[in-house]
C-alpha cells in the first residue's frame, strides 16, 4: 500500500529512530497490511477503529501476548498520525482503540554480591579476548549501556581527559556517562593490548573480534550469558539484565531517579520508575528485619 516507504523515511530522517525500531515498525505494518488484504481493504482512508479492533482480536486469538499487541497498536497510532499530516486520512482511527491490559513486568537483575563476585573472583584470561570480555562486563555494569550502544562504541566515544563516555543512544541522542577509575584501568589495558595485536585496524570500533572486526550482538550476548551463568541463577542472562542491575544498584544506594534516567538515556521518567519496585521490596525487607516493632506488629495481622 502507498505511503509506507515515506513513513519509514520519516522514522529514519525526522524521528531519527534506530534501525532496530524501524525494522519493528515495518514488521508490524506488514502484518497489518496482510490483514487488510484478507479483508479486501485497499485504501488507508477505508480503515476504521473497528478494523483495527478486529485485527487486535485476531492477534490475541493467534496467541500474541498483550504486551506485543499493545506495541503493534502503538505502531498504528504513529503511522496514522503520519497519514493525517500527509492529509491522507481525516483522523487517527487507532488513537482510541483500547488495548489489552498488560501485566506489570518487573526487570530481572543480578544481585550486587553476584556482580562483585564475578568481577573480583572469576578469572579472565590475560590475552586480548580475556581483557575484552572482562571489559564488556564492566562497561555494561558501570554505565548501564544498551547492547547496541556498546557494539557501536568507537574509540572517539571514550573521553579519557574528562573521564566520560559520549554515548549515542536512541534517536541519535548523545548522553554523557562517567568512567570510574576501575573501568579506566581496564579500558587502558584492553586498548593497549588491542593496538599491539591489531596495529593497523581497518575500523575505529572499540571492541573487536579475534579477527580484528567489530564485535556483533550475538558475540557480546554469548560473552555476557556465559559469565552470568557462573554467578547467578536469574532466568535471563543478557546484557539488558546487567543494565537493570546497574540501575537497581544505584537506586538501592540512594541515587536520584532523575540522575539514573539521564544515565540510562530514558526519554521519560516513567521508564525509569519501573526499578523503584525492586528497591521498595528491598527496603521493605530491611525494615522488617531491623525495626524493633516489626515482628510484634506481624503477630496482630
Q: What does the alpha-carbon distance between residue 183 and residue 198 come to, in Å, rounded to a whole number?
A: 22
Q: Where do we find the cell 548523545?
A: 174
Q: Quickly count: other Cβ atoms within 10 Å of residue 67's Cβ.
A: 13
The secondary structure of residue 235, as a DSSP letter, is S
Catalytic residues, which ones?
Answer: 146, 170, 240, 243, 266, 275
As a whole number of angstroms, the distance between CA 208 and CA 170 comes to 23
Cα-based distances in Å from 233 to 116, 144, 236:
15, 20, 8
Q: Is 99 exposed, middle or buried (0-12, 13-18, 19+ CB in 10 A)?
A: middle
Query: Do 187 and 178 form a contact (C-beta atoms < 8 A)?
Result: no
The residue to which cell 591489531 is assigned: 198
Cell of 265: 538515556
Judged by DSSP in three states, 165 sits in: strand
Amino acid at each position: 500500500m502507498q505511503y509506507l516507504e515515506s513513513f519509514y523515511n520519516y522514522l529514519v530522517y525526522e524521528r531519527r529512530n534506530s534501525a532496530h525500531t524501524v525494522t519493528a515498525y515495518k514488521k508490524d505494518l506488514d502484518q497489518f497490511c496482510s490483514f487488510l488484504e484478507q479483508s479486501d481493504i485497499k485504501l488507508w482512508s477505508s480503515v476504521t477503529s473497528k478494523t483495527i479492533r478486529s485485527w487486535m482480536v485476531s492477534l490475541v486469538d493467534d496467541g500474541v501476548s498483550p504486551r506485543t499487541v499493545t506495541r503493534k497498536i502503538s505502531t498504528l497510532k504513529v503511522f496514522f498520525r503520519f497519514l493525517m499530516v500527509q492529509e491522507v486520512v481525516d483522523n487517527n482511527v487507532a488513537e482510541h482503540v483500547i488495548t489489552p491490559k498488560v501485566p506489570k513486568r518487573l526487570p530481572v537483575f543480578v544481585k550486587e554480591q553476584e556482580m562483585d563476585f564475578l568481577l573480583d573472583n572469576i578469572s579472565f584470561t590475560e590475552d586480548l579476548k580475556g581483557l575484552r570480555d572482562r571489559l564488556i562486563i564492566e562497561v555494561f555494569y558501570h554505565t548501564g549501556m544498551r547492547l547496541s550502544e556498546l557494539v557501536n562504541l568507537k574509540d572517539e566515544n571514550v573521553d579519557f581527559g574528562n573521564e566520560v563516555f559520549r554515548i549515542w543512544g536512541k534517536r541519535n541522542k548523545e548522553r554523557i556517562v562517567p568512567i570510574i577509575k576501575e573501568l579506566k584501568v581496564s579500558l587502558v589495558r584492553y586498548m593497549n593490548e588491542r593496538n599491539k595485536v591489531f596495529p593497523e585496524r581497518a575500523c575505529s570500533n572499540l571492541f573487536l573480534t579475534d579477527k580484528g572486526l567489530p564485535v556483533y550482538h550475538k558475540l557480546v550476548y554469548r560473552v555476557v550469558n556465559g559469565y552470568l551463568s557462573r554467578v547467578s541463577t536469574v532466568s535471563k542472562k543478557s546484557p539488558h539484565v546487567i543494565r537493570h542491575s546497574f540501575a537497581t544498584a544505584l537506586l538501592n544506594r540512594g541515587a536520584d531517579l532523575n540522575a539514573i534516567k539521564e544515565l540510562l538515556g530514558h526519554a521519560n521518567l516513567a521508564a525509569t520508575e519501573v526499578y523503584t519496585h525492586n528497591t521498595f521490596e528491598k527496603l521493605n525487607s530491611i525494615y522488617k528485619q531491623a525495626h524493633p516493632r516489626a515482628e510484634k506488629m506481624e503477630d496482630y495481622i
